[in-house]
Structures are given as C-alpha cells and as structure tokens.
Amino acid sequence: MNSPLLKAEDLNVRFNTANGVVHAVRGVSFELGREKLAIVGESGSGKSTIGRALLRLHPHSASIDGKLQFGDTNLLACSEREMQAIRGRRMSMIMQDPKYSLNPVMRVGEQIAEAYLAHRKVSKAEARAKAIAMLESVRIRDPERVYNLYPHEVSGGMGQRIMIAMMLIPEPEIVIADEPTSALDVSVRIQVLGVLDDLVSQRGLGLIFISHDLNLVRSFCDRVLVMYAGRVVESIAAADLDKAQHPYTRGLLEALPSLDQRRERLPVLQRDPAWAA
C-alpha cells in the first residue's frame, strides 16, 4: 500500500450556536487507504460531523480548519464549484434512511441515472443501461422492474441498496457511509453489508463507516477509530478490539450485553473528564 487515499491532519470543526461555540471535532488526524475504516462513537462524539466535513456539507457558519489531503487535492482549500465536482464523482456518501434520502417523486432508476449523468456526458439511454447494470451489481433481482419503482414502493433494505447503487455509479474513490444500516432489520442489514463489502473490495475503494454499533464494525471493518467528545481516543485494527487500550473503549465494550458472556449487571461506563480534555 503506497500513499493513503485520504489524509486528515489536526481537523477541527466549530459551530456557532445560540449557546456559544461548539467545538464538535477537535484535532482529529487519520489516514484512509483502500480499506474499511470505522468511525465509532456515541451521540455527540462528532463522528457524523467528520463525515459531513469531508464533503464540506456544513453551512458557512461552521469553521473547519486543519488539513484534508485527498490525493493531490486539499479539500479545505477547494471552492464550492470544485467541491461539486468532487462530491459524487470522487467521494460520495450513503446516508441512514432511504425514506429521507431518496427523492420521493422520482423513480429510483431515474435517480441513479441522474447521478451518473451529473458527472458524465452520455446519452440518456446509456445512463439508463448503466443504472440497470448497477442495480444488478447490488444484487437486486429484476432490475428492469425496480428501475421504474418509486421510493415508497421499495422496502428498507432495497432502498438502501438503491442508495448504494446511486452513490457508487459515478465510480468514486472514497465512500462515506453514515449509519447506513441502523434503520434496517438484522437479516437485511447483513445482506446490505454484503453488497457493500463486495463492491468496496471489487473496486478498491476506501470506505469510511460511521456507526454507533461497536459490535457490528468489529466484524465488518478493517480498522476502527473510537471517538469521544470530538477527539479520537483510539485507533486500532478491528480484529484487535478486545486488546483496546483506552479506558473509554474498554468501558464501551464491557457495557455491551453479549450473547457469549452473561453477567448479572453490566458494568456502567465511568466517564473521566480527562478524556474530553
């Protein structure tokens, strides 16, 4: 593995709110190669903020500083126009609930084709063919029929696969997935993850998987970043999670109920204010 796809150095994101300045992301640094990297944390940890900051989706009132090197592009120095060329084409994002992230008045196939047409000048027919091929690659049987469906006519799992198709059709280098399976049933979740897994490895993409589910990322991702109060408190290989060093990670792991280890009482996480410092 040569140079990383994405390199973040000392990333800081601050929001101006009615209650003062919220320092949501504090001095975060990490690298992403052609691998599945998980960013895990509880609510308020800043994990979703990072995902959106990478795509510069925050309003102008948010201040982002630090260094974000994407290949040969410094993401923080890009103009809005340059970012529009990057979003989708080189870096895209899969969101949590297809109910809200798909356009309800447009057929799903057309939305996928639109994602393709946004970055490539091809005929409509070719875009349609590409969209149908993409639907096949996310393991949707009968893609011709599904092409013509509206979002409210598809189930949650299928909607999420459509979302994946839409986000991967422009052939980006990096995909950010923000809680992509939290709204799905457990069996559907595994299937959707299987699709994502295959596509990511086939195309050699970098995947940033943002989630609160430590158990899930343990088996799905290659590396894990644990966040607390805006900071990365642990960066570790997924397979080594049970050897985690930081007390917050250990506390989280122990607080999880587990089928393999029955305990009378779950150890409650004792927050040390030093972690947020």
Stretch that binds other proteins, among 63-71, 105-113, 117-125, 212-220 (CB under 8 A): 212-220
Those residues with Cβ within 8 angstroms of residue 13's Cβ, 6 or more apart along the chain or in another chain: 23, 24, 25, 46, 49, 50, 53, 58, 62, 63, 64
Instruction: Report d(CA 11, CA 74) in Å as an integer.
Output: 13
Choice from 159, 189, 225, 244 touching other proteins (CB under 8 A): 189
Choice from 1, 125, 186, 274 touching other proteins (CB under 8 A): 186
- Neighbour-count burial of 93, counting CB atoms closer than 10 A to its CB (0-12 exposed, 13-18 middle, 19+ buried): buried
If one asks whether residue 138 binds other proteins (CB under 8 A), the answer comes out as no
> What are the helix and strand counts (H, E) for the chain?
10, 10
The conformational region for residue 204 under phi > 0 = left, psi -120 to 50 = alpha, else beta, is left
C-alpha pair distances (Å), 18 with each of 15, 21, 22: 10, 8, 10
The residue (of 75 and 217) whose beta carbon lies closer to other proteins is 217
Choice from 97, 114, 171, 222 touching other proteins (CB under 8 A): 97
If one asks whether residue 151 binds other proteins (CB under 8 A), the answer comes out as no
If one asks whether residue 237 binds other proteins (CB under 8 A), the answer comes out as no
The residue (of 113 and 164) whose beta carbon lies closer to other proteins is 164
Choice from 1, 2, 81, 257 touching other proteins (CB under 8 A): 257
If one asks whether residue 61 binds other proteins (CB under 8 A), the answer comes out as no
Type of residue at 146: V
If one asks whether residue 259 binds other proteins (CB under 8 A), the answer comes out as yes
Work out the number of other CB atoms within 10 angstroms of the CB of residue 89.
Answer: 16
The residue (of 60 and 141) whose beta carbon lies closer to other proteins is 141
Choice from 213, 235, 236, 250 touching other proteins (CB under 8 A): 213
If one asks whether residue 233 binds other proteins (CB under 8 A), the answer comes out as no
Those residues with Cβ within 8 angstroms of residue 229's Cβ, 6 or more apart along the chain or in another chain: 26, 44, 45, 46, 275, 276
Site string for other proteins, 13-52 (x = CB under 8 A): ------x--xxx-----------------xxxxx------
- Give the ranges where the chain is alpha helix by DSSP (H): 47-54, 80-86, 98-101, 108-117, 124-137, 143-147, 156-168, 186-203, 214-220, 247-255
Q: For the chain, how big is the Rg over CA atoms in Å?
A: 19
Q: How is residue 1 annotated by DSSP?
A: -
Instruction: Report d(CA 176, CA 167) in Å as an integer.
Output: 10
For residue 75, the minimal CB distance to other proteins (Å) is 24
Give yes or no for a contact between 156 and 184, defined as CB atoms under 8 angstroms apart. yes
For residue 87, the minimal CB distance to other proteins (Å) is 23
For residue 18, the minimal CB distance to other proteins (Å) is 8
If one asks whether residue 142 binds other proteins (CB under 8 A), the answer comes out as no
The residue (of 13 and 115) whose beta carbon lies closer to other proteins is 13
Contact residues toward other proteins (CB under 8 A) are 19, 22-24, 42-46, 96-97, 139, 141, 156, 179, 182-183, 185-191, 193-195, 197-198, 212-216, 218-220, 229-230, 251-252, 255-260, 262-269, 271, 276
